[in-house]
Chains A and B, each alone.
Chain A
Amino acid sequence: MSQSIHIEIDRLEGTLLRILGLVERRGFHIDGLELYDLGEDTRGLTLTLRPRDATRSFDTLGFQIDKLYGIRRVPAPQATPVAAEAQKISA
């Protein structure tokens, strides 16, 4: 069962790696990744995730992401003109 998580991230060195590493270490496959501009200092990131086993909780993962600095979860994808031109990467 896949689920998407939407995140705003500061444009800082290591931020993207910090998120992707956390997600994989905490037991989730990254099935999709979309990165898009939200402004000069901020980027949007949508991750499509699938747990490796039934014990992995999206809720817990969300709280673990919330603990990272320079990163904010947002409740829904932001459909913006910028997002339409987003760079898409299949993972």
Chain B
Amino acid sequence: MATNKPTGAQLVISTLKALGVDVLFGYPGGAIMPIYDALAGSGLRHILVRHEQGAAFAADSYARATGRVGVCMATSGPGATNLITGIANAYMDSIPMVCITGQVGTHLLGTDGFQEVDFLGLTLPIVKHSWLVRDASQIPAIIAKAFAIAKEGRPGPVLVDIPKDVAASFVDSSDMGELSAYVPPAPNAEAIDAARALIEQAKKPLLYIGGGVHMADADQEMRDFVERTGIPLVATLKGLGTVPTTHDLALGMLGMHGTRAGNIAVQETDLLIAVGARFDDRATGKLSAFAPHAKVIHFDIDHAEIHKNRRADVGIIGDLKLALPALQPKMPDISEWVKFNKANKWQHRFKYDAPGKGIYAPALLKYMSEVAADKFIVACDVGQHQMWVAQHCEFAQNKAHITSGGSGAMGYGLPAGVGAKLALPDHHVVTVSGDGSFMMNIQEMATLRRYGINLKIVLLDNSSLGLVRQWQELFYEENYSEIDLSDNPDFVEVAKAFGLSAFRITQRHEVEGAVDRLLAADAPTLLHVLIDPRENVWPLVPPGASNAEMMEERWDEPIDSY
């Protein structure tokens, strides 16, 4: 039927364009066909991934790299459920993302129709908000609201589930409506005063910087605060790089795989200043033994985080861009405390002279981050290599470290690299993965080739699930259960089959040349690195233990080539 009226699907596309979306990630299917029909020729750039999970992870990473809302699309049923891990990942790390899913027609809802699944119900615990759209005329307003909700306050994923008949129906009139601009709450002046008083009385203050600082776009305000107070700092996995990791006062990551200097500082501090951090169990270890001598100041945009895990003496809820500059303490003399921490940092610095001739992954990662320097962006997978990246790479900015924090989702690295490289094409974007994680979304190498995305991949292969193996070695009496991946395919040949360049190294003396070659390549390239399966991540706080109980590295055997 010829008509000038737009369909719901056309409104989806026109609204995305009106909201400034320039790229989205997805995979078509039955129930979302009207939207893909409207997408064709629309000018909107769509990246066809090879699995919906890749779409969600790529959109998440695109959001992290740009600070904008990431967008992914999938069809109903299995297409939608394949998004779930990515949605949960975005929820756990507070990433702004809008997911648009097709749904069976409204007359089929609740009938167990083909590819029907209650996606609104399935995702309730892992979204900030969600809609099942029943009236096409509401599509522009709902999508606009979804973008606003995804970004405002503490960011997160939002779902818009659209039945096929709603997407296909014609609409008489519709618009986005007026949305009042979100204004983050200003911090309470009395709370700022109380925080100032605590800092002025402190002898051993310590900053505990989380991912919320970057999410609030308050990196510079955080750096300014560090410079004017001289307070030492530790960072969470997501907080790394907010203050450059090379900064004199930066003691590294705290927690389970944190630095010894960082964890000592937390145990010794008399005033812990948490900024955009949520006292996650991987950071705190045994909660009752965490920062045992400290009063706590807690900055967060999310009121529900204050007192959630650790009682705060002062809670400051609001915009960090306002709160941090407002806090202007007259600093007490903390020179002995600073000296103490710098001495610990030096004494417990990482060492890279591992015995043997085999490749020592931490040294490779450190070298790569130093060579790539300010243009270095790592999209990391999950496992031992993820912790090595956090420990050994230098990050000049927070967005340089794109990693699955709260969710710890294996398979994140490759699609995250796709999203990050599309967002930051002039940077050295490197996916660092392990042989377990890489196999979980290996199909996205096809996406690299299709779009010519010049992502670099460092695949650290220990032919096992290394972090699980490490825990089985240390905490399960070496009862190795289902961690052997020695029947992995030949990753170089697999990468070449996908149309990528690929090469392998096995010896320590090959590392620098290989990294240089990788970074200089003008096409997507995989560097396959064979490492010792017995290598562990150190230091390590045993699960359930205090951060004071760190286990240390034992170099009693040389690392040989594998």
Indicate, yes or no, whether A interacts with B: yes
Give A residues with C-beta under 8 Å from B.
13-14, 17-18, 21-22, 25, 57, 59-60, 63-64, 66-69
Known: A57-B308, A60-B308, A64-B304. A21 touches B120 (CB 8 A): no
Which residues of A sit under 8 angstroms from B125, Cβ to Cβ? 21-22, 25
Which residues of B sit under 8 angstroms from A13, Cβ to Cβ? 120, 131-132, 134
Which residues of B sit under 8 angstroms from A67, Cβ to Cβ? 128, 153-154, 302, 304
A64 CA / B149 CA spacing, docked (Å): 15
A32 CA / B129 CA spacing, docked (Å): 25
The main secondary structure of chain B at its interface with chain A is mixed
The main secondary structure of chain A at its interface with chain B is helix
B186 at the interface (CB under 8 A from A): no
B121 at the interface (CB under 8 A from A): yes
Considering the complex, give the chain A residue whose CB is closest to the CB of B120: A14
Give B residues with C-beta under 8 Å from A.
120-121, 124-125, 128-132, 134, 149, 153-154, 302-304, 306-308
Q: Is the CB of A69 within 8 A of B307?
A: no
A68 CA / B130 CA spacing, docked (Å): 10
Q: Is the CB of B303 within 8 A of A63?
A: yes
Which of B121, B153, B304 has its CB near the most chain A CB atoms (within 10 A)? B304
Known: A21-B124, A69-B149. A59 touches B132 (CB 8 A): no
Nearest CB on B from A67, distance (A): 6
Q: Is the CB of A59 within 8 A of B307?
A: yes
Which of A14, A60, A63, A64 is close to B124, meaning CB atoms less than 8 Å apart?
Answer: A14
Nearest CB on B from A15, distance (A): 10
Considering the complex, give the chain B residue whose CB is closest to the CB of A69: B129
Which residues of A sit under 8 angstroms from B128, Cβ to Cβ? 67, 69
Considering the complex, give the chain B residue whose CB is closest to the CB of A24: B125
Q: Is the CB of A66 within 8 A of B303?
A: yes
A60 CA / B128 CA spacing, docked (Å): 17
A57 CA / B303 CA spacing, docked (Å): 13
A17 CA / B125 CA spacing, docked (Å): 10
Nearest CB on A from B80, distance (A): 15
Nearest CB on B from A32, distance (A): 22
Which residues of B sit under 8 angstroms from A57, Cβ to Cβ? 307-308
Q: Is the CB of A14 within 8 A of B304?
A: no
A26 CA / B130 CA spacing, docked (Å): 19
Nearest CB on A from B165, distance (A): 16
Q: Is the CB of B307 within 8 A of A60?
A: yes
Which residues of A sit under 8 angstroms from B132, Cβ to Cβ? 13-14
A13 CA / B149 CA spacing, docked (Å): 17
Nearest CB on A from B278, distance (A): 12
Given A14-B132, A67-B153, 15 additional A-B pairs, CB 8 A: A13-B120, A13-B131, A13-B132, A14-B120, A17-B121, A17-B124, A57-B307, A59-B307, A63-B302, A63-B303, A63-B306, A64-B304, A67-B154, A68-B129, A69-B129
A13 CA / B303 CA spacing, docked (Å): 26
A63 CA / B153 CA spacing, docked (Å): 13
A67 CA / B155 CA spacing, docked (Å): 11
Which residues of A sit under 8 angstroms from B121, Cβ to Cβ? 14, 17
Q: Is the CB of B120 within 8 A of A63?
A: no
Which residues of A sit under 8 angstroms from B306, Cβ to Cβ? 63
Which residues of B sit under 8 angstroms from A14, Cβ to Cβ? 120-121, 124, 130, 132
A39 CA / B308 CA spacing, docked (Å): 34
Q: Is the CB of B129 within 8 A of A66?
A: no
Leading 7 A-B pairs by shortest Cβ distance: A63-B304, A63-B303, A69-B129, A64-B304, A60-B308, A21-B124, A14-B120
A10 CA / B304 CA spacing, docked (Å): 22
Q: Is the CB of A66 within 8 A of B304?
A: yes
Nearest CB on B from A2, distance (A): 21
A63 CA / B134 CA spacing, docked (Å): 30
Nearest CB on A from B536, distance (A): 32
A59 CA / B129 CA spacing, docked (Å): 22
Which residues of B sit under 8 angstroms from A64, Cβ to Cβ? 304
Considering the complex, give the chain B residue whose CB is closest to the CB of A22: B125
A68 CA / B124 CA spacing, docked (Å): 11
Which residues of A sit under 8 angstroms from B129, Cβ to Cβ? 68-69
Which residues of A sit under 8 angstroms from B124, Cβ to Cβ? 14, 17-18, 21
Which of A25, A64, A67, A68 has its CB near the most chain B CB atoms (within 10 A)? A67
Which residues of A sit under 8 angstroms from B134, Cβ to Cβ? 13
A26 CA / B303 CA spacing, docked (Å): 15
Nearest CB on B from A34, distance (A): 22
Q: Is the CB of B304 within 8 A of A60?
A: yes
Which residues of A sit under 8 angstroms from B303, Cβ to Cβ? 63, 66
Nearest CB on B from A64, distance (A): 5
30 pairs from A and B in contact (CB 8 Å cutoff): A13-B120, A13-B131, A13-B132, A13-B134, A14-B120, A14-B121, A14-B124, A14-B132, A17-B121, A17-B124, A18-B124, A21-B124, A21-B125, A25-B125, A57-B307, A57-B308, A59-B307, A60-B304, A60-B308, A63-B303, A63-B304, A66-B304, A67-B128, A67-B153, A67-B154, A67-B302, A68-B129, A69-B128, A69-B129, A69-B149
Which residues of B sit under 8 angstroms from A17, Cβ to Cβ? 121, 124
Considering the complex, give the chain A residue whose CB is closest to the CB of B306: A63
A52 CA / B129 CA spacing, docked (Å): 26
Considering the complex, give the chain A residue whose CB is closest to the CB of B132: A13
Nearest CB on B from A51, distance (A): 14
A25 CA / B125 CA spacing, docked (Å): 8
Which residues of A sit under 8 angstroms from B131, Cβ to Cβ? 13
A77 CA / B270 CA spacing, docked (Å): 43
Nearest CB on A from B515, distance (A): 44
Considering the complex, give the chain B residue whose CB is closest to the CB of A12: B131
Nearest CB on B from A73, distance (A): 12
Which of A14, A17, A22 has its CB near the most chain B CB atoms (within 10 A)? A14
A25 CA / B306 CA spacing, docked (Å): 19
A14 CA / B123 CA spacing, docked (Å): 11
